């Protein structure tokens, strides 16, 4: 990938707003920067005899649990070639629906890629080894595919997020090749096999591994041109990267993708 774009003030303000860098971004937010809140609040300790307590919960208590504040949140970057179904994955995840027809192009001029990326904020419930089951929020941002050739722009987008979902279309070998290049790029810069002395010097709050899922979309299609074995082989030597097949159309695997990255943040 060739660094051919720059991070403009407008793009910086845009990402600051959608990923909640500040409480209220303004035109002079660069001169009045507020401290970033912690990315994740630790969940409270489980009550004693929790395995028995849930049997005594009344409907009112169950309703209160649905309205309880989240225990934390995660910022996830969604990226991949154009027309791989990134927006459809986010729509399926946040609304459990699938667009009946492709959305009209949102590109400007003669460029390629989306100029108005999809953003969603949606709760998930996690149950991993280091935290009790609870509600967490996913802030998901679709990275414009026409900016994938910009290393600096991509690096900054990765730096303000905690995980990534790299999407390709199983009917498009070209999108698969691009996705492989993206996961390799992320792995080399965030999850190197042999970290350099200054590795993560700008990411002191980040865990040692930046979780990535290579998501093979359109698994419902009968016109497959990229095998499942090829997908597994693409990630087998990359630390922090997992492979999953999904279908935004049927919903298969979509929830598991976001639970997967959230549980590893």
Alpha-carbon distance of 157 to 7, in angstroms, equals 10
Is 48 contained in some domain? no
Asked whether the predicted pLDDT for residue 100 surpasses 90, the reply is no
Please state, for a pLDDT cut of 90, what percent of the chain lies above it.
42
Is 3 contained in some domain? no
Is 52 contained in some domain? no
Of 205 and 231, the one with more pLDDT: 231
Alpha-carbon distance of 140 to 216, in angstroms, equals 18
Work out the average pLDDT over 249-264: 92
pLDDT in the model for residue 230? 98
Report, in angstroms and rounded to the nearest whole number, the Rg of the chain calculated over CA atoms: 19
Is 253 contained in some domain? yes
Which of 23-32, 122-131, 231-240 shows the lowest mean pLDDT across its residues? 23-32
Contact 53, 179 (CB under 8 A): no
Asked whether the predicted pLDDT for residue 201 surpasses 60, the reply is no
Work out the average pLDDT over 221-244: 96
Domain coverage including residue 160: 74-104+111-264
Of 204 and 193, the one with more pLDDT: 193
Alpha-carbon distance of 119 to 107, in angstroms, equals 17
Instruction: From 139, 129, 134, select the one nearest 74 (Cα to Cα).
Output: 139
Domain count, the chain: 1
CATH value at residue 90: 3.40.50.300
Would residue 125 be called left, alpha or beta, if left means φ above 0 and alpha means ψ between -120 and 50 degrees?
A: beta
Maximum mean pLDDT: which of 3-12, 68-77, 228-237:
228-237
**Please, what is the end-to-end C-alpha distance for the chain in angstroms?**
27
pLDDT band, residue 167 (cuts 50/70/90): very high
Is 25 contained in some domain? no
Q: What pLDDT digit, counting tens, does each position of 108-159 carry?
A: 333 344 545 677 899 988 876 555 568 889 999 999 998 898 888 999 999 9
pLDDT in the model for residue 10? 58
pLDDT in the model for residue 197? 47
pLDDT in the model for residue 218? 98
Asked whether the predicted pLDDT for residue 179 surpasses 90, the reply is yes
Q: What pLDDT digit, counting tens, does each position of 44-98 carry?
A: 554 544 444 444 445 555 555 566 788 888 899 999 999 999 999 999 999 999 9
Q: What is the mean pLDDT of the chain?
A: 75
Asked whether the predicted pLDDT for residue 1 surpasses 80, the reply is no
Is 95 contained in some domain? yes
Contact 113, 144 (CB under 8 A): yes
Alpha-carbon distance of 236 to 225, in angstroms, equals 20
- DSSP helix/strand/coil, 69: coil
pLDDT in the model for residue 102? 54
Question: What φ, ψ does residue 176 adopt, rounded to 5°?
Answer: -70, -45
Alpha-carbon distance of 254 to 244, in angstroms, equals 9
Q: Provide the edge-to-edge strand list for the sheet that holds 134-142.
A: 119-126, 134-142, 72-80, 163-169, 212-217, 241-245
Is 90 contained in some domain? yes
Q: Is the pTM of this model over 0.85?
A: no
Residues 78, 81, 82, 84: is their CA dihedral positive or negative?
negative
pLDDT in the model for residue 213? 98
Asked whether the predicted pLDDT for residue 38 surpasses 60, the reply is no
In this structure, what DSSP letter does residue 240 have? T
Is 218 contained in some domain? yes
Distances (CA, A) of 156 to 26, 34, 73, 203, 226: 20, 19, 19, 11, 30
């Amino acid at each position: 990938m060739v660094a051919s774009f720059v991070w403009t003030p407008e793009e910086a303000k845009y990402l600051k707003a959608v990923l909640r860098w500040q409480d209220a971004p303004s035109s002079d937010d660069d001169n009045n920067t507020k401290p970033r809140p912690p990315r994740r609040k630790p969940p409270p300790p489980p009550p004693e005899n929790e395995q028995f307590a849930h049997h005594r919960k009344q409907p009112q208590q169950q309703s209160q649990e649905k309205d309880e504040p989240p225990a934390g949140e995660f910022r996830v970057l969604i990226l991949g070639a154009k027309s791989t179904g990134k927006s459809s994955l986010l729509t399926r995840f946040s609304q459990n629906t699938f667009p009946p027809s492709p959305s009209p192009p949102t590109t400007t001029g003669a460029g390629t890629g989306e100029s108005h990326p999809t953003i969603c904020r949606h709760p998930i419930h996690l149950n991993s080894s280091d935290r009790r089951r609870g509600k967490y929020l996913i802030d998901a941002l679709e990275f414009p595919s026409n900016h994938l050739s910009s290393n600096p722009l991509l690096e900054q987008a990765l730096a303000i997020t905690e995980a990534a979902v790299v999407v390709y279309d199983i009917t498009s070998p070209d999108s698969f090749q691009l996705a492989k290049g993206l996961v390799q790029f992320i792995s080399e810069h965030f999850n190197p096999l042999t970290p350099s002395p200054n590795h993560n010097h700008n990411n002191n709050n980040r865990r040692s591994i930046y979780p990535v899922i290579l998501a093979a979309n359109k698994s419902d299609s009968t016109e497959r041109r990229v095998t499942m074995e090829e997908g597994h082989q693409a990630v087998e030597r990359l630390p922090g990267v997992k492979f999953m097949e999904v279908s935004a159309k049927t919903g298969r695997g979509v929830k598991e993708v976001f639970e997967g990255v959230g549980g590893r943040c």
